[in-house]
Amino acid sequence: MELASAIIAAVVALLVVITVIRSVRIVPQARARNVERFGRYSKTLEPGMNFIVPFIDRVKKEIDLREQVVSFDGQPVITEDNLVVLINTVLFFQVTDPRAADYEITNYILAIEQLTATVLRSVIGTMDLEQTLTSRDKINNALRTVLDDASGKWGIRVTRVEIKAIDPPKSVKDAMEKQMRAEREKRAAILTAEGVRQSKILTAEGEKQSAILTAEGAKQAAILRAEGQAQAIEQVFQAVHDNDPDPKLLAYQYLQTLPQLAQGAGNTFWVIPSEVTTALKMVTNAFSPDQASEESGRPRDRRDRPKDKREPAHEPSAAVTSAEGLNISAVLDAAGVSPVLDAGLSPAIDAPVPDNPAQANGAASADTTIPPDPE
């Protein structure tokens, strides 16, 4: 009897313990559990310790209330230009009503995946491939708006939809790569041409500035050189007029310039001016004894001569002319032009002297052309 009582007490205690355990439910944070009583929704258990009626209430599985991320594989979508592309999407959602998420739809994850695929087809169908690749924000906003409206009655809020990848066909990829390569080569060629253009412009500017500076320098040098020559000529001219040189000295200096007329590789003949005969006569008279005696009696300075006294004219004679010819040859030999003058002046020296002095002066004033030395 006592043994039966002990067994009954043990059974009752075990039932009490089981009843207490089944009547207490602990729900973690950001979780929720729905309770059914006699098969009907009764309440939703909040995070923490909750009490239910054991053997009468049935607690369903936990529902995660945190924001969840679901990645969907590539969905085949046809664009407006009849190209099939695979689009991978990433969905961010959160359960806001555990009761609707449990009783309004069987599998809300699968429902969101299928709804995303249908919305993608409707949105991408109105775009071509280029717009699809460049309008991701537009696609994301359209997907989020449609999914949020459709999943609202399921107790789900779609927070964000992102296009993870858009994979066009391989042929389209190859064409796009060729196009991109061509664009890059075009930009490189344009940049190279711009660089060459800028380089040429800078080089031309530098050459322009260099030419301008060179011309300015040459201009200044020419001006300074001309000023120097002008000053030198002015000083020489002033010195000549101040010193009042003798005409014989000027004639001798004039004869010293004759060899310079024959200088130059391109000269085939040269012309003796008519003034040479006058200069030669003056030099010859300077070395003549009669002329020297006459000069000794004349005043040295031109200013010492009487203004109204005129020198008598002397008519040349054959002897004087021969002496003049000999003295001319000597002067030309001293000047270094005797090889050139011998061939042309010998006939003139050996010729008889004309009786009329005017004819002699006319013959002396004519220009004489002397061919160059064959050497």
Assign 3-class secondary structure to the chain: CHHHHHHHHHHHHHHHHHHHHHHEEEECCCEEEEEEECCEEEEEECCEEEECCCCCEEECCCEECCEEEEEEEEEEEECCCCCEEEEEEEEEEEECCHHHHHHCCCCHHHHHHHHHHHHHHHHHCCCCHHHHHHCHHHHHHHHHHHHHHHHHHHCEEEEEEEEEEEECCHHHHHHHHHHHHHHHHHHHHHHHHHHHHHHHHHHHHHHHHHHHHHHHHHHHHHHHHHHHHHHHHHHHHHHHHHHCCCHHHHHHHHHHCHHHHCCCCCCCCEEECCHHHHHHHHHHHHHCHHHHHHHHHCCCCHHHCCCCCCCCCCCCCHHHHHHHHHHHHHHHHHHCCHHHHHHHHHHHHHCCCCCCHHHHHHHHHCCEEECCCCC
Q: What pLDDT is attached to residue 182?
A: 92
Domain end among 63, 83, 102: 63
294 and 361 in one domain?
Answer: yes
At 160 the three-state DSSP class reads strand
The domain of 10 spans 2-63
Residues 84 and 76 sit within 8 Å (Cβ to Cβ): yes
Domain for residue 307, yes or no? no
What's the total number of domains in the chain?
4
Residues 324 and 283 sit within 8 Å (Cβ to Cβ): no
Report CA dihedral (261, 267, 273, 277) to the nearest 10 degrees.
70
Q: What pLDDT is attached to residue 370?
A: 43
Q: Checking DSSP bridges between strand 84-95 and strand 156-167, what pairing results, if any? A: antiparallel
Domain for residue 229, yes or no? yes
* φ/ψ (deg, to 5) at 352: -65, 150
291 and 252 in one domain?
Answer: yes
C-alpha–C-alpha distance, residues 19 and 15, integer Å: 6
225 and 190 in one domain?
Answer: yes
186 and 161 in one domain?
Answer: no
Q: Checking DSSP bridges between strand 57-59 and strand 63-64, what pairing results, if any? A: unpaired
Q: What pLDDT is attached to residue 298?
A: 52
Buried b (16+ CB within 10 A) or exposed e, 70-89: eebeebebebeeebebebeb
261 and 355 in one domain?
Answer: yes
Comparing C-alpha atoms, which of 73, 22, 70, 24 is closest to residue 45? 24
Q: What pLDDT is attached to residue 307?
A: 42
CA 317 to chain centre: 87
Domain for residue 303, yes or no? no
Domain for residue 308, yes or no? no
Residues 82 and 68 sit within 8 Å (Cβ to Cβ): no
195 and 162 in one domain?
Answer: no
Residues 169 and 83 sit within 8 Å (Cβ to Cβ): yes
Sheet holding 156-167, edge to edge: 67-78, 84-95, 156-167
Domain for residue 309, yes or no? no
Residues 317 and 353 sit within 8 Å (Cβ to Cβ): yes
120 and 212 in one domain?
Answer: no
Q: What pLDDT is attached to residue 374?
A: 42
Ranges of residues in the chain whose predicted pLDDT is under 70: 1, 245, 248, 250, 254, 258, 260-277, 279-280, 282-283, 286-375
C-alpha–C-alpha distance, residues 84 and 173, integer Å: 12
Retrieve residue 274's tokens: 């008519």
261 and 360 in one domain?
Answer: yes
Domain for residue 288, yes or no? yes
320 and 359 in one domain?
Answer: yes
72 and 157 in one domain?
Answer: yes
Q: What pLDDT is attached to residue 222?
A: 93
Domain end among 168, 189, 208: 168
Domain for residue 75, yes or no? yes
251 and 136 in one domain?
Answer: no
281 and 352 in one domain?
Answer: yes
pTM of full prediction above 0.75 = no
Domain end among 109, 135, 168: 168
Q: What pLDDT is attached to residue 81?
A: 86
Burial status of residue 25 (CB atoms within 10 A of its CB: 0-12, 13-18, 19 or more)? middle
Q: What pLDDT is attached to residue 198?
A: 93
Retrieve residue 276's tokens: 């040479």
